Amino acid sequence: MHQHYQELTKNTANYIPLSPLSFLARTADIFGARTAIIYGDRHYSWQQTYGRCRALASALNRHGLGLGDTVSIIAANTPEMYEAHFGVPMAGCVLNTINTRLEAETIAYILADSDSKLLIADTAFHDSVAAALQMLDHDIEVIDIRDMALGDLPPLGQRDYEAFIATGSSDFDWQLPQDEWQALTLSYTSGTSGRPKGVVYHHRGSYLMSFGTVAAWQLGQHPTYLYTVPMFHCNGWGHAWTTALMAATIVLTRTITAEEIFQLVETHKVTHFGGAPIVLGMLVNADETLRPDLSDRNVMVMTAGAPPPASILEKLSAMG
């Protein structure tokens, strides 16, 4: 039998590359009408989110971008940032999420080192991004994310995100990667020991990490997840993909204050969120009158980055 075992090869009946992109396709097919994204007055279903991601992928391909090209994004936790986690790799490109808190020189270094072919930029960070672009020795096309809630901010590029994805097709026939070890995303370290260093996630690793999160967090189907973890930080701890896997409702915010978090938890009946210890400390030390009514449920919290003090965990538990 040894010979027969060795002759068995991969085929479409017994093998498919592991990729978190498959989570979105499945959820849109089965739970397409469920709410996927809530961002202020903007609400998208899973079917709409899938269509927007496919339109982004299509627009990138029509723009001449494809396998192995780096597409960078610097943005708050907006629908566009979430969509980029699927739409960019659906085009075969690699998504590079840039820390919004960086100074212009470091942003310029990352854009150059990553060989970014296109930058999607939140105009809320106009000054640092504009300065970074001036430092480059070549031009990069910029697609603007214009958040109308912030008013009419100065543009960075020649067109905005909505106009760009309108050049694509929401029925784009994207393909899973041929190799699950293919690069999915690129992130840069904070540069505490010299220049920032690039870290690559592949499709297989991010797929498996999402399932690990489900098991570790005992995450059930259809949670309501408040996205307080910046998506530039390890792709928001990989929760962009995990939420698609579990057909969650994702509440997005660019404002990380105790008042905003408590209000969103109350309004949208949030069941899960993540936060570094500094965020958890902010919540337990906030005015008690701001706290939401959690008498009907417990909110599950994931924390990372550093071990939180036991006193913080005890106070959070007492709050529900």
Q: What is the DSSP letter of 100?
A: T
Judged by DSSP in three states, 319 sits in helix
**Exposed, middle or buried: residue 125 (CB in 10 Å: 0-12, 13-18, 19+)?**
buried
CA angle 278–283–284, rounded 5-degree value: 100
Which of 167, 163, 84, 76 minimizes the C-alpha distance to 123? Answer: 76
Q: Which residues of 279-316 are buried (b: 16+ CB within 10 A; e: fewer)?
A: bbbebbeeeeeebbeeeeeebbbbbeeeebeeebbeeb
Q: Are 180 and 65 in contact (CB under 8 A)?
A: no
Residue 191 has a pLDDT of 67
Residue 288 has a pLDDT of 82
Which of 264, 270, 261, 266 minimizes the C-alpha distance to 224? Answer: 270
In the predicted model, residues of the chain with pLDDT beneath 70 are 191
Residue 315 has a pLDDT of 83
Domains of the chain, start order: 18-254 (3.40.50.12780)
